[in-house]
Structure 1
Amino acid sequence: MGSELDGKVAAVTGAASGIGLASSEAMLAAGAMVVLIDRDEGALKALCEKHSDRAMPLVIDLLDPSECATLVPKVLASAGRLDIFHANAGTYIGGDLVEADTSAIDRMLNLNVNVVMKNVHDVLPHMIERGSGDVIVTSSLAAHFPTPWEPVYASSKWAINCFVQTVRRQVFKHGIRVGSISPGPVITSLLADWPPEKLEEAKVSGSLLQASEVAEVVIFMLTRPRGMTIRDVIMMPTNFDL
């Protein structure tokens, strides 16, 4: 177990699986207290039983506006303060736009964009008052390349890329760092929407990342000297070819 984040309190959304789970476990291993936020109560309970009392579950449906608004008050009530916020929760839609369900589009844009903005909006006053903090947002390689097979998803991440860059410039004077991680395809449940032949091709060619590899980059970002902000890290498998 490391000690790079000893004494820090972190909160991670979408913490029950995938990148959120890997990020939470990496922060716990580095010594942080972590509030794991997800709507999957059973998964959170199992995870917190697996880890020490430094892992605290917080069951919230972020797509419910009234529940979403309770995130920061509940984190502060259970942990006392917040040093690190990883806005990770998100969903995915791939394929041709004309074949997409419009209600699914609404849900994805709400979770990938609106919820992220609302969560960061609610976190910032606490960090500003304390004069320090780290905000990391899970973005995507799709934020930097107009991926033709995922126009809705890519658009949500382009919006987040702009959000991270502009908010960073507003709050750095308060001692707050804002950055994003932009991985290429990661082996998580989000790939379930990929065409089967494309997913199999990616697995065979070694062009997928592990969630744990993304978590290692999160820890790298959090442990830089306070005078340095890693604004965005683009990660891709060596064999990945757009």
Structure 2
Amino acid sequence: MSFRLDGQVAAITGAASGIGLATVRALLGAGARVVLVDRDAAALTRLQAELGPDALPLVLDLLDPAQCARLLPGVLALTGGRLDIFHANAGLYVGGDLVEASHEAIDRMLQLNVGVVMKNVRDVLPHFIAQGRGDVLVTSSLAAHFPTPWEPVYASSKWAIDCFVQTTRRQVFQHGIRVGALSPGPVITALLADWPAEKLAEAKAKGSLIDPAEVAEVALFMLTRPRGMTIRDVVMLPTHFDL
């Protein structure tokens, strides 16, 4: 069974850290060229030096509408007009009691977790339709499948994006385009810094956290299935995580 992506080009948002960076490493290891999309210019410069010429940095703040609209043109300019895989991974987290969340924090999170994902996918689809194939992956969350009481805002954004993945897939599968979502439980990333302290301490004590590299391995598996197979949803749970 092949897990290779030789000759393919991927673009990953939120690529400078966490699941995004782990997926960059996995796809590079499988032979792809990867465009790293992130707002952290310094981090992308360091990563390009570390990862080599097949890692192509694209500095964008996706919360800025004008910069968000430049994603596809920027990717194609770096890759000579090629894109085979788009991974919408960038996201924000708002946890805790709803009454403690500010309007600004809610707006930013919903814009990045939902609005930006929809706009980015909308922009890459014509390119994929024209070439008769393409893969779209979206980083969702276990929160899309379980009404997590300590994160009503975040969970709502992931429920919305899970619906988006399923409905969009049904619109575009006839064009040879696969659309799927990765839904991990708690992953060891900077997003956990906003978890309730007692919940994070409990998860660490139980060993109920996932490493980003484990999520990236699943992403690579999804992308390397035969073209006649779409893996639409993968829910990844730490073995010791108790719902």
TM-score band (shorter)? over 0.9
1:145-165 alpha-carbon deviations (Å, 9 max, x no partner):
110000000000000010000
Aligned to 1:55: 55
SS of equivalent to 1:5: coil
| Partner Cα distance (1:180, 1:198) in 2 | 25
Contact 2:3 2:224 in 1 (8 A): no
Question: What's the CA shift for 1:3?
Answer: 6.7
Aligned to 1:69: 69
In terms of mean alpha carbon deviation, does 196-205 or 177-186 score higher?
Answer: 196-205
1:98-123 alpha-carbon deviations (Å, 9 max, x no partner):
11111100000000000000000000
Q: Which amino acid counterpart does residue 23 of structure 2 have in structure 1?
A: S
| Partner Cα distance (1:204, 1:31) in 2 | 37
Q: Counterparts of 1:183-202 in structure 2 under 5 Å?
A: 183-202=184-203
| Partner Cα distance (1:89, 1:51) in 2 | 20
Question: What's the CA shift for 1:77?
Answer: 0.8
| Partner Cα distance (1:144, 1:227) in 2 | 26
SS of equivalent to 2:96: coil
Question: What's the CA shift for 1:134?
Answer: 0.2
In terms of mean alpha carbon deviation, does 209-218 or 194-203 score higher?
Answer: 194-203
- Return 5+ residue gaps in structure 1 as ranges: none
Aligned to 2:216: 215
In terms of mean alpha carbon deviation, does 2-11 or 128-137 score higher?
Answer: 2-11
| Partner Cα distance (2:204, 2:16) in 1 | 24
Contact 2:145 2:159 in 1 (8 A): yes
Q: Which amino acid counterpart does residue 179 of structure 2 have in structure 1?
A: V
| Partner Cα distance (2:154, 2:162) in 1 | 13
Aligned to 1:41: 41
| Partner Cα distance (2:30, 2:45) in 1 | 21
Q: Percent identity?
A: 73
Question: What CA RMSD, in Å, does the superposition of the two structures yield over aligned residues?
Answer: 0.9
- Return 5+ residue gaps in structure 2 as ranges: none
| Partner Cα distance (1:69, 1:197) in 2 | 40
Aligned to 2:159: 158
SS of equivalent to 1:61: coil
Contact 2:3 2:221 in 1 (8 A): no
SS of equivalent to 2:234: strand
| Partner Cα distance (1:52, 1:16) in 2 | 14
SS of equivalent to 1:12: strand
Q: Normalising by the residue count of structure 1, what TM-score does the alignment of the two structures yield?
A: 0.98
Contact 1:22 1:211 in 2 (8 A): yes
Q: Which amino acid counterpart does residue 239 of structure 1 have in structure 2?
A: H
| Partner Cα distance (2:232, 2:63) in 1 | 27
| Partner Cα distance (2:70, 2:211) in 1 | 31
Contact 1:178 1:231 in 2 (8 A): yes
Contact 2:87 2:138 in 1 (8 A): yes
Contact 1:3 1:31 in 2 (8 A): no
Aligned to 1:21: 21
Aligned length: 241
